[in-house]
Amino acid sequence: MPPAPTTFTVSEATRKKWSEAVNEQANAAPVLDLTVDNITENVIAVNSNVTDNPRLQYLITKFIRASHDFIRDVGLNFEEWEQVWKFLTSVGQISTDVRHEMVLLSDILGISALVDSISHPAVPGATEYSLLGPFHDDRAHFVELGESITSEGTPGEATLVRGTIKDINGNPVNKALIDVWETDGNGTYDVEYIDKDGPDFRGKLYSDKNGAFYFSCVRPVPYPIANDGPVGALLRKLNRHFFRPAHMHFIILHPSYDKLITALYTRDSKYIHSDTVFGVKSSLMVDYVWTEDLKLAEQYGVKPFKRVLDGVEKEGFWLLEHDFVLVGKRDPVSLKTRD
C-alpha cells in the first residue's frame, strides 16, 4: 500500500488569513511588463508581506536585491544559470547525513569562516574561534588527565599537549570539558576508515583545579578535504588545491563560559597560508617543540620515538604547550532587521 499522504492541520483562522493575503496580492502590485530595470522592485513588493518575522522580511528583501544586482552586474546568461542550478542540484544529490557537500561548498567559498567570525566576534585576550568542520563526534571516550587519545599503534609521531584553561582575567577554570579531535599521522580521521571500530584520535577530558590539562596524541599532519564530488570538481576548475594545514580541533565547554569551538594550526605546516577552507588565524598558530626529555615523557606517559636529526638518531617526542582563554557568557549578537 502506498504511504498515507502527510496531512497538515491548519486552523480556520490561519486559512482565512492566507486567503485574504492571496486575494489582496492578486490585485496588488503591477507584476507585468517586467524589465531588467524594474523587476527587482516588483519581486521585493510581492515578497513584502511577512508580518510576524521581521528578520525573515529583512533577509529576503536584501537577498533579492543583492542577487538581482549580481546578475545584472555580471550579465548572467541562460546557459550560465543552467550550469549553476545543475551544479547546486549535484551538490544536494551527493549530500547525506555524513557527507555535507553543501557545507563544504560554503567552506571553500569562505562563507563558513565569515559566518563564524560574525557569530563569534573576537574578544581581546580571548582564544579565537575557528571552523568546526564535519568530523566532530560526540561519542568520543573520556580520558583521564595524561592519558592518550590515540590507540596503541596509531600511525604518527608521539606528542604531548599541555596547557591551562583560563578566564579573561587569567584565573584558572576548573572542570572545563576539553573535547579534542585530530587525524592520525596519515591525515585520516577515524570516521574515514571504513573498517575502524569506535572513536579514535579524539577524546574528552576535564581541566583540574588549576585549569591544567594534558594528554598525549600524535602530531597532526595536513590532509585533503573530500574532493571526489562537485566541490572537488569546482576546486579543480579554479586551479585550487584541496588541503587543510595540520591542525587539532578543540571544543571547550564550561557552564559559566561561552562555548569555544576552535583549532590549533601548526605554524610550519604546508598550506598554513592557503587553507582551502579559510580557518587559520595567526593567534591560533602553534609550534611543536622537539624534546628529548625522557623523564618528562615518563612523567606524562608519552612513548618517545626515534628520529634522525643531522644524521644522528635521537629519541624524543613533540611538545605542544598552549593555553585557552574563555569568555564569560555573552548575549548572542543581535540580529539586524533594517539597515
Interface with Fe ion (CB under 5 A) = 133
Q: Which residue of 68, 102, 117, 135 would you call a contact of ligand BEZ, by CB under 6 A?
A: 135
Nearer to ligand BEZ, 219 or 244 (CB): 244
**Binding site partner of 302, from ligand BEZ, Fe ion, none, Cβ cut-off 5-8 A by kind:** none
Q: Which residue of 43, 61, 107, 248 would you call a contact of ligand BEZ, by CB under 6 A?
A: 107
Nearer to ligand BEZ, 277 or 302 (CB): 277
Q: Where are the alpha helices (DSSP H) in 109-255?
A: 111-119, 230-237
- Which among 107, 92, 81, 56 is positioned nearest to 278, based on CA atoms? 107
Applying the rule CB under 6 A, the residues between 205 and 264 that interact with ligand BEZ are 225, 244
**Binding site partner of 149, from ligand BEZ, Fe ion, none, Cβ cut-off 5-8 A by kind:** none
The three three-digit cell numbers of residue 300, written as one number: 606524562
Region near ligand BEZ per CB under 6 A, out of 74-82, 131-139, 194-202, 288-296:
131-139
280 makes contact with ligand BEZ (CB under 6 A): no
**Binding site partner of 277, from Fe ion, ligand BEZ, none, Cβ cut-off 5-8 A by kind:** ligand BEZ
Backbone φ and ψ of 324, nearest 5°:
-110, 140
The three three-digit cell numbers of residue 184, written as one number: 592520525
Task: Answer whether 328's CB lies under 8 Å from 257's CB.
Answer: yes
Nearer to Fe ion, 68 or 99 (CB): 99
Distance of closest approach, residue 247 Cβ to ligand BEZ, in angstroms: 6
Nearer to ligand BEZ, 107 or 200 (CB): 107
Task: Answer whether 148's CB lies under 8 Å from 215's CB.
Answer: yes
CA dihedral for 102, 105, 109, 112, sign (positive or negative): positive
The three three-digit cell numbers of residue 106, written as one number: 560554503
Q: Which residue is nearest to ligand BEZ (CB)?
A: 133
Distance of closest approach, residue 110 Cβ to ligand BEZ, in angstroms: 12
Assign 223 to helix, strand or coil.
Answer: strand
Nearer to ligand BEZ, 199 or 304 (CB): 199
Whole-number Å distance between alpha carbons of 87 and 81: 10
Nearer to ligand BEZ, 107 or 167 (CB): 107
Q: Which residue of 277, 297, 320, 326 would you call a contact of ligand BEZ, by CB under 6 A?
A: 277
Region near ligand BEZ per CB under 6 A, out of 72-80, 127-135, 152-160, 301-309:
127-135
C-alpha dist (Å) from residue 297 to 178, 219, 309: 22, 15, 19
In a 13 Å sphere around the CA of 322, the CA atoms on its Cβ side amount to 24
Nearer to Fe ion, 105 or 180 (CB): 180
Distance of closest approach, residue 299 Cβ to ligand BEZ, in angstroms: 31
Task: Answer whether 221's CB lies under 8 Å from 271's CB.
Answer: no
Taking only Cα atoms into account, the Rg of the chain, rounded to an integer number of angstroms, comes to 26
Residue-level length of the chain? 339
Nearer to ligand BEZ, 277 or 286 (CB): 277
Query: 36-54: string of b/e by CB count within 10 Å (b at 16+)?
Result: eeeebebbbeeeeeeeeee
Number of neighbouring beta carbons within 10 Å of residue 183: 25
Assign 135 to helix, strand or coil.
Answer: coil
Distance of closest approach, residue 249 Cβ to Fe ion, in angstroms: 6
Q: Given the rule CB under 6 A, which residues bind ligand BEZ? A: 104, 107, 131, 133-135, 225, 244, 277
